[in-house]
Amino acid sequence: MPASTTLSTAELRRPIVAAAALSEFARGGFHGTTIADVAREARISPAYVFKLFPGKEALFVAALEACFDEVIAALSSGADAASDQSPTGILDAMADAYAELIGDRRLLSIQVHAQSITHIPEVGAGLREGLARVTSFAKERSNGSNADVQRFMAYGQLCHLIVTAGVEGETQPWAEILTHGIRHP
């Protein structure tokens, strides 16, 4: 293998540390998670985490990017498996794949945590970049109208609300209105 394609130890460790950060920040949030927590989960020293990421904000953004990588991969699989390859069929299949995916509370939790700290410039930018990636992917892969993609994104946010607030299974009329036609595994 040519030297130019050989990855350094740091380049190999970055995704491992980002995955550890995703788990830890999803569990404890930005303010409740330390670099030492992430280092312990990644089984490296806190100093090495700082070597890979210049600060806690950059580490959180890397975790958020890892989250959105998983989201895009699930949406892609859903789109590929859609029996109906119309824009609506693809968006529906991607929505089903996303509903399955947010059963993994890490992904849901880190997005909610990110939404709560968008006043931190790096986090706000990272969240907007992730939303841009998902929106652009949904538009390009489905070839749906802007309105169709907006509805897809809006339903995704409604799913977040239903899951985080524990609305599913509630029988009051307001809850039935919010959950009508939406299922979560």
Q: Mind listing the domains of the chain with CATH numbers?
A: 3-179 (1.10.357.10)
pLDDT on residue 185: 56
User: What's the pLDDT at 7?
Assistant: 46
Report the C-alpha gap between 15 and 59 in whole angstroms: 11
Q: Please, how many CA atoms are within 13 Å of residue 132, restricted to the half-sphere of its CB?
A: 7
What the block records as the tokens of 174 is 């307001």
Upper half-sphere CA count for residue 181 (Cβ side, 13 Å): 6
Residue pair 27/109 in contact by the 8 Å Cβ criterion: yes
Instruction: Report d(CA 162, CA 169) in Å as an integer.
Output: 10
Q: Which of 166, 141, 138 is nearest to 150 (CA)?
A: 138
Asked if 139 contacts 93 with a C-beta cutoff of 8 angstroms, the reply is no
Q: For residue 174, what pLDDT is reported?
A: 94
Q: Give the closest residue to 97 by CA, choosing from 67, 70, 115.
A: 70
Walk along the chain (185 residues) and give the pLDDT tens digit of each residue. Answer: 455 555 458 788 899 999 999 999 999 999 999 999 999 999 999 999 999 999 999 999 999 999 999 999 999 999 999 999 999 999 999 999 998 888 788 999 999 999 999 999 999 999 999 999 999 999 999 999 999 999 999 988 998 888 888 888 889 999 999 888 876 65
Name the E strands within 128-169.
none
Looking at residue 1, its pLDDT comes to: 47
- How far apart are the C-alpha atoms of 121 and 96, rounded to whole Å? 32
